Amino acid sequence: MFQDILEFLRSFGPLGLFIHSFADAVIFPIPAFFLQVSLSIVHPKDALWLATYGFIGCLLGTPLGYAIGKLLGKSVLYKILKKQWIDAATNLFQKNGEAAILIGSFTPIPFKVFTILSGCLNFPLWRLMAYAALGRATKFYVVGILFYLYGNAAEGMVKDVSLYIALIAVPLILIGLYFKRRHKRKKMLQQQQAEAVPSAKPVEKPVLEQVTDQSPSA
Q: What are phi and psi of 17, to 5 degrees?
A: -65, -40
Question: Rounded to whole angstroms, what are the CA distances from 53 to 9, 14, 57, 107, 143?
Answer: 13, 6, 6, 20, 13
| Segments of the chain with pLDDT less than 70 | 80-81, 97, 104, 106-109, 160-174, 176-178, 180, 197-218
Within 13 Å, how many C-alpha atoms sit on residue 124's CB side?
A: 5
Specify the pLDDT at position 174: 65
Q: If 0-12 CB within 10 Å is exposed, 13-18 middle and 19+ buried, where does residue 177 land? A: middle
Q: What 3-state DSSP class applies to 164?
A: helix
Q: Domain locations in the chain?
A: 2-196
What's the start-to-end Cα distance of the chain, in Å? 110
Specify the pLDDT at position 20: 94
- Residues 104, 117: contact at Cβ < 8 Å? no
Specify the pLDDT at position 200: 47
Specify the pLDDT at position 175: 75
pTM beyond 0.85, yes or no: no
CA 55 to centroid of chain Cα atoms: 14
Specify the pLDDT at position 62: 92
Residues 6+ apart with CB under 8 A from 192: none
The CB density around residue 184, as the number of other CB atoms within 10 Å, is 10
Cα distance between residue 11 and residue 36, in whole Å: 13
Q: DSSP letter at 106?
A: T
How do residues 34-74 score in pLDDT, each as one tens digit? 899 999 999 899 999 999 999 999 999 999 989 988 888 77
Helices 112-120, 83-95: axis angle to 10 degrees equals 60
Specify the pLDDT at position 216: 53
Nearest to 29 by CA among 81, 66, 74, 65: 81
Cα distance between residue 15 and residue 72, in whole Å: 29
- Residues 142, 161: contact at Cβ < 8 Å? yes
Specify the pLDDT at position 17: 94
Specify the pLDDT at position 164: 63
